[in-house]
């Protein structure tokens, strides 16, 4: 029993398995043909537009996802002295007249690189709906599953013939690629260090034996394709090929944090988030197009002040070191960094010292590729209870991100019979934020 089926976008060029085999037969005299075949297979499975150019020069993305709804008052929109301050004092940043919460000292020294929208607003105060909205840029709708930003970047900008997956997610519940298909879904690591599940050869199986087994699968798939199974066979084969490439690639060292200097690992923070952010940089360097790193625990219904402070002690060094590190390697100019969660928290502090869900006004921090740093956009009133200037919808945020990433936001897809643009057309890109 299925719901919400989708189909490939119109104009999609797919190669039948037989066409591919014919291609192979024509040009298979040399091994040099193999990579292009592999890339055709990869494109085939994802329904890529034929002839689309892929590869270098595309913007890359890192999302620092603060799961649970981070308090704006305890991070980027502090109100020291106000009844809503919640005990937080503010510190000056390196941009005149702009302050952050005192537990973000390292980011405060790098505010020149940051653009913070302080006037984000939405109507979604329920975790799962808000998460869907802020990660995908569309108001959730049960008839369509929208792709998250990372899947959009992977699908539109990623090199699908590359050995590594185009989108990697570190920590947190896996995101769906929605109508873009599972090929654009994230490769998920539930922790930044240690063995990756099912990536190494099973006990008693070496490369030769797996190849031999692969030959048997080939015989079976060939027979099934002849009996009408062809569309399914083509997709399976391409994913098996991608999985094998991932197992055997030299680029697997990208996942090895041991290769980083101890001092740098320390400055990112010796915790799963800090090390995850470091891993994100390594993956981007090695050809991954988008990485999302999740830091959970922001749903501070009690003891907000201490809990946020502890979380800031992970966020601050990781985010700040990432900016320095990307800059040093010449990657900051083409890497968009987005730091956000699903909503903000109530200005009012509850009896148990908590803050509850608050979609009315919250913050998003941006840096890097396509973004003009050193500015706050929008503002809340004196006590942070209402937006005082430039209310910004999630659709506006996504239009801005789309522009910063140089995406074709108007590209049309189909979810079932329903046409959908890559990014919600109701949003307007915020020009002052764009470099």
Partner 1 sequence: MLSLTSIAFALATPFLATDGERPSPAALAELIDRALLEQWQQQKITPVAPADDAAWLRRLSLDLCGTIPLREEAAVFLDDERGDKRLRKINEYLADRNCAQNFSYQWSNALLSAAQKQGGPEGARLRPWLEEQLAQNVSFAQIVRELLASSGRNDENGATSFVLSYTDEIEALSAVTSRTFLGVQIQCAQCHDHPTDRWKQEDFNGFTGFFLGVRDQKIGEMPPTRRLVDATPGELRIGQLRRLRDALRAAAMGGDADAADLRRRLKRGEGDHELTDEQLTAFLETLPGTQRQRLEKGIERQKTFGEARFLDGAAYVETDDRTRRQALAEWMVAAENPWFAKATVNRLWGHFFGKGLLDPVDDLTGSQDQVLPPLLDLLAQKFIQSNFDLRYLMEAMVRTRVYALGNSLDDDADRRTHAERWFAAHPLRPFTAEQVLHSLQRATALEDEKLVRAKGEEFEAARRKVLEKFRYVFNDDEGGSEDRFAASIPQALFLMNGNLTNDETKLRKSKMLDDILDEARADRERQRQVFLATLGRLPTQREAERLGRLVKGSAGGNKRGIEDLFWALLNSTEFLTNH
d(CA 133, CA 149): 11
Nearer to partner 1, 65 or 187 (CB): 187
Instruction: DSSP letter for 254, please.
Output: G
Which stretch of DSSP H or E encloses residue 278?
helix 272-285
Burial class (CB in 10 A: 0-12, 13-18, 19+), 144: middle
Burial class (CB in 10 A: 0-12, 13-18, 19+), 223: exposed
Nearer to partner 1, 235 or 322 (CB): 235
Nearer to partner 1, 169 or 409 (CB): 169
| Residue in 60, 62, 58, 57 with CA at minimum distance from that of residue 268 | 62
CB of residue 112 vs partner 1: minimum separation in angstroms? 33
C-alpha gyration radius of the chain: 23
CB of residue 392 vs partner 1: minimum separation in angstroms? 18
Residue 310, CB-side half-sphere exposure with 13 Å CA sphere: 9
CB of residue 188 vs partner 1: minimum separation in angstroms? 7
CB of residue 220 vs partner 1: minimum separation in angstroms? 4
Q: How large is the greatest C-alpha to C-alpha distance in the chain, in angstroms?
A: 76
| Residue 105: Cβ within 10 Å count | 15
Distance of CA 336 to the CA centre of its chain: 10
Nearer to partner 1, 201 or 428 (CB): 201
Instruction: DSSP letter for 48, please.
Output: P
CB of residue 106 vs partner 1: minimum separation in angstroms? 31
Q: Strand pairing partners for 283?
A: none
CB of residue 379 vs partner 1: minimum separation in angstroms? 16
Cα separations (Å) of 93 from 106, 375, 376? 9, 11, 12
Burial class (CB in 10 A: 0-12, 13-18, 19+), 280: buried
Nearer to partner 1, 208 or 352 (CB): 208
CB of residue 126 vs partner 1: minimum separation in angstroms? 6
Nearer to partner 1, 110 or 155 (CB): 155
CB of residue 196 vs partner 1: minimum separation in angstroms? 9
């Amino acid at each position: 029993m299925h719901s919400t089926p989708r189909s490939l976008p119109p104009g999609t060029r797919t190669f039948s398995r037989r066409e591919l085999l014919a291609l192979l037969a024509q040009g298979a005299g040399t091994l040099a043909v193999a990579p292009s075949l592999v890339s055709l297979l990869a494109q085939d499975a994802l329904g890529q537009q034929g002839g689309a150019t892929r590869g270098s020069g595309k913007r890359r993305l890192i999302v620092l996802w603060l799961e649970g709804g981070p308090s704006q008052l305890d991070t980027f929109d502090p109100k020291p002295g106000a009844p809503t301050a919640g005990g937080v004092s503010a510190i000056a940043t390196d941009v005149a007249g702009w302050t952050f919460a005192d537990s973000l000292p390292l980011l405060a020294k790098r505010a020149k690189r940051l653009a913070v929208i302080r006037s984000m607003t939405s109507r979604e105060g329920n975790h799962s709906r808000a998460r869907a909205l802020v990660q995908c840029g569309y108001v959730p709708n049960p008839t369509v599953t929208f792709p998250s930003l990372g899947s959009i970047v992977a699908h539109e900008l990623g090199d699908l013939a590359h050995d590594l997956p185009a989108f990697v997610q570190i920590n947190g519940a896996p995101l769906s690629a929605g109508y873009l298909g599972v090929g654009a879904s994230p490769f998920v690591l539930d922790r930044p260090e240690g063995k990756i599940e099912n990536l190494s050869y099973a006990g008693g199986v070496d490369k030769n034996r797996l190849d031999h087994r692969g030959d048997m699968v080939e015989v079976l798939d060939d027979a099934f394709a002849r009996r009408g199974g062809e569309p399914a066979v083509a997709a399976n084969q391409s994913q098996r090929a991608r999985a094998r490439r991932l197992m055997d690639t030299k680029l697997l060292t990208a996942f090895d944090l041991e290769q980083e200097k101890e001092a740098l690992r320390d400055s990112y923070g010796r915790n799963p988030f800090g090390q995850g952010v470091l891993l994100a940089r390594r993956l981007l360097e090695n050809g991954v197009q988008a990485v999302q790193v999740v830091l959970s625990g922001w749903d501070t219904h009690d003891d907000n002040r201490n809990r946020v402070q502890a979380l800031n002690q992970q966020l601050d060094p990781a985010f700040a070191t990432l900016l320095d590190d990307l800059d040093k390697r010449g990657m900051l100019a083409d890497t968009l960094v987005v730091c956000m969660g699903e909503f903000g928290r109530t200005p009012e502090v509850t009896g148990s010292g908590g803050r509850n869900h608050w979609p009315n006004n919250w913050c998003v921090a941006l840096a890097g590729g396509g973004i003009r740093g050193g500015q706050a956009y929008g503002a809340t009133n004196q006590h942070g209870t209402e937006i005082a200037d430039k209310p910004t919808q999630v659709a506006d945020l996504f239009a801005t991100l789309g522009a910063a990433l140089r995406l074709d936001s108007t590209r049309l897809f189909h979810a079932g019979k329903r046409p959908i643009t890559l990014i919600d057309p109701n949003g307007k890109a915020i020009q002052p934020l764009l470099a």
